[in-house]
Structure 1
Amino acid sequence: MSTQAAQARSGQTSLAPEIWLLLLLSLIWGSSFTLIKLAIPTIPPFTMVAVRVTIAAMLLLLVAVAQGHALPRRGSVWAAFLVQGLLQSALPFTLISWGEAHIASGLAGVLNATPPMFVLVITMLTARGRQTVGGRKIMGVGLGLAGVTVTMGVDALSGIGTAAPLAQAAVLGASLCYALAPIWGQRFSHLPAIVTAAGAMLCAGTLMLPAAAMVERPWTLAPPPAQAIAAVVALAVVCTALAMVIYFRLIRTLGPLGTTSGSYLRAGFAVALGMTFLGEQPTWSSLAGMALIVTGVIAVTAPAPAGNGRTRPG
């Protein structure tokens, strides 16, 4: 018994740093909604994301080289990096940035709390029995979907004739990307986190720079204010470069579902920061929806009680 207790204590000790990193990542990504809201009035979404991922890519590459890591040379790895960069950065960053031009940052954060439910649904459809899914998790998905419906329902009706409903759908599309990204990212578990982050971000920059040039012609835009520039730099350095290193480490240690479980914390941080720094006042529908989403995410991500009789197949 003493040996088992020691092993349990050892497991808890080794898990503790990952939980703290998950909390830190949730705070970092929760703050990104506020930073995007500060920048979007003067820096359009494609340009913002192109600058964000390019700066982050250069920083990550410098750190990887300084640590003595060499980037992979196989074309298949870079093709996988391209998909990762699209799912984890280029597409969701653009969807959220465009969405926040039309809805509050806190609302975007609430809607973006749904990746764990998407992960579970994808797992149920594709895992072929590798994970037992109980009634509690299925109920959690239902609660989360109800939360999204409540959050979007009243606001969408009040926003008929505006871009708000489409903006909300765009943020949900970003959540789907965030659900697919850690599943895809498991294939890089043999690479150092900094190498994976640098490779994926370089590919994201390769996608976004020409897209911004074609869609928005950033050289024709008026110079943005210092506050907007500072927000984009913070997005690049903290919310992208630093966050990606933490993210790819957590994929290895906590897995896709565990990594996305910080989504409800991210939503809370997004709402709190939006209220504190932007003066946003959440609607009753968004607060009620967030409560349902958080309850659903907890039900989806909480570990099953010990001794419940379920065993993993195989």
Structure 2
Amino acid sequence: MTASSTTTPALAKEVALLAVLATLWGASYTFIRIGVETIPPITFIAARTLIAGGLLVAIIKMRGLSLPKDPAIWKRFFIQACINSVIPFTLIAWAEQTVNAGLATILNSTTPIFAFLLTVLITRHEAVTMRKLLGTIAGVIGISLIIGMEAFQGVGKELVAQLAIVAATISYAAAAIFGRGFKGLDPMMPAAGSMICGAVILIPVSLVVDQPWTIAPSADSLLALLGLSVFSTALAFVIYFRLIHTLGSVSTTSQAYLRVPIGVGIGVIFLGETLASTALTGLVFVVIGVAAMTFPSRKKTVPV
């Protein structure tokens, strides 16, 4: 049996899982949009991190593993929680009270672009190639086209909400860089640890700010919360960390642009959303930019 006959089916399975991951994360924006209709953003995200963290811990236990006990590692989990869940999750949930799910998907798809910019400006561990530079420019043009019309009309609530999503995207990019420090751990550990820390941070804030016992969430919002926590967070993380091992980190980040048309399509089909012509043009530039940033360079292989 040749190597290609054994590897091709396996590769097809991983690519299929990549599409599933893009769908799960693309759907998250619609889940959030429905959830925050009757559940305040802080409480919604606190519940999301609590449910997802509990499920991830259960998966770790089923695998016969246990979470680290080193306080230094938990300190890093805490930092990761702040920049990978507490800040971006909450900003996106707050913004989606006024920004539609499709637009949120487009704006949030630019994480690899900001990760590249932060890498160049701060860590400088990657070379600046012309392709990545052009991808960054295309992404910035895309964002400008998406939020530019509101900017010309003055700073209003809609613009602030859109900029909040961009800020969340930058936070995700910082988290991706900071997360490189967890190489010595099973990848499920930082996922579960950061979710637990996120819940520890957000639950007290929710109790003080939202007083969740006074909330009367709708059935749709509760189902959206459950779907977001189980599928778009816990299950998505399991698939994500599997793909990191099988496809590699660079190829796995391609879900960032795969989820753009998926997320926009879900919002249009299930929420009846529409996008302005400038936003659609911006979408094209964003997809081109993120694709340029994430497609791996071709390397010559030497037979073993």
Same-fold status (TM-score > 0.5): yes
CA contact (8 A) 1:53 1:205 kept: yes
**Larger displacement relative to structure 2 (86-95 or 258-267):** 258-267
Q: Aligned match of 2:54 in 53, 58, 69?
A: 58
Structure 1-normalised TM-score? Answer: 0.87
Deviations 1:99-153 (A, max 9, x none): 100111101111011011011112223444x433211110110010001001100
Q: Aligned match of 1:279 in 269, 272, 278?
A: 272
Identity of aligned residues (%): 38
Q: Which amino acid aligns with 1:52?
A: R
CA contact (8 A) 1:103 1:167 kept: yes
- Partner of 2:213 in structure 1? 219
Measured after TM superposition, the shift of residue 252 of structure 1 is 4.9
Measured after TM superposition, the shift of residue 155 of structure 1 is 3.6
Distance of aligned partners of 1:91 and 1:259 in 2 relative to their CA distance in 1, 3 Å threshold: farther
Cα distance in 1 for partners of 2:168, 2:12 equals: 29
CA contact (8 A) 2:251 2:296 kept: no
Measured after TM superposition, the shift of residue 51 of structure 1 is 0.7
Count of residue pairs brought into register by the alignment: 299
Q: Aligned match of 1:269 in 234, 255, 262?
A: 262
* Structure 1: gaps (5+ residues): 1-5, 308-314
Distance of aligned partners of 1:81 and 1:248 in 2 relative to their CA distance in 1, 3 Å threshold: farther
Q: Aligned match of 1:290 in 261, 271, 283?
A: 283
* Residue 241 of structure 2 is aligned to residue 245 of structure 1: no
* Residue 191 of structure 2 is aligned to residue 206 of structure 1: no
* Residue 142 of structure 2 is aligned to residue 147 of structure 1: yes
CA contact (8 A) 1:116 1:257 kept: no
Cα distance in 2 for partners of 1:94, 1:287 equals: 26
Measured after TM superposition, the shift of residue 267 of structure 1 is 1.6
Give matches, 1:29-68, under 5 Å.
29-68=25-64
Distance of aligned partners of 1:11 and 1:82 in 2 relative to their CA distance in 1, 3 Å threshold: farther
CA contact (8 A) 1:193 1:245 kept: no
Deviations 1:190-209 (A, max 9, x none): 32333332211111111110
Give matches, 1:62-141, under 5 Å.
62-128=58-124, 130-141=125-136
Deviations 1:37-93 (A, max 9, x none): 111111010000001110111111122112211110100111111112222222111
Cα distance in 2 for partners of 1:293, 1:266 equals: 12
Distance of aligned partners of 1:9 and 1:132 in 2 relative to their CA distance in 1, 3 Å threshold: farther
Measured after TM superposition, the shift of residue 21 of structure 1 is 3.0
CA contact (8 A) 1:186 1:251 kept: no
Measured after TM superposition, the shift of residue 268 of structure 1 is 1.2
Cα distance in 2 for partners of 1:252, 1:119 equals: 20
- Partner of 1:312 in structure 2? none
Deviations 1:263-314 (A, max 9, x none): 122121111001000000111011000000111111112223447xxxxxxx
CA contact (8 A) 1:148 1:289 kept: yes
Distance of aligned partners of 1:257 and 1:83 in 2 relative to their CA distance in 1, 3 Å threshold: farther
- Partner of 2:162 in structure 1? 168
Cα distance in 2 for partners of 1:12, 1:116 equals: 28
Q: Which amino acid aligns with 2:146?
A: T
* Structure 2: gaps (5+ residues): none
Distance of aligned partners of 1:81 and 1:287 in 2 relative to their CA distance in 1, 3 Å threshold: same
CA contact (8 A) 1:88 1:181 kept: yes
Give matches, 1:289-308, under 5 Å.
289-306=282-299
Q: Which amino acid aligns with 1:170?
A: A
Please tell me the root mean square deviation across aligned C-alpha atoms, in Å: 2.2
**Larger displacement relative to structure 2 (291-300 or 211-220):** 211-220
Q: Which amino acid aligns with 1:71?
A: L
CA contact (8 A) 2:49 2:229 kept: yes
Cα distance in 2 for partners of 1:90, 1:104 equals: 21
Q: Which amino acid aligns with 1:82?
A: F
CA contact (8 A) 1:140 1:296 kept: yes
* Residue 175 of structure 2 is aligned to residue 181 of structure 1: yes
Partner of 1:230, secondary structure, is helix
* Residue 12 of structure 2 is aligned to residue 19 of structure 1: no
- Partner of 1:311 in structure 2? none
Cα distance in 1 for partners of 2:205, 2:14 equals: 36
Cα distance in 2 for partners of 1:106, 1:76 equals: 39
Cα distance in 2 for partners of 1:274, 1:234 equals: 15
Partner of 2:134, secondary structure, is helix
Q: Which amino acid aligns with 1:139?
A: L
Measured after TM superposition, the shift of residue 259 of structure 1 is 3.7
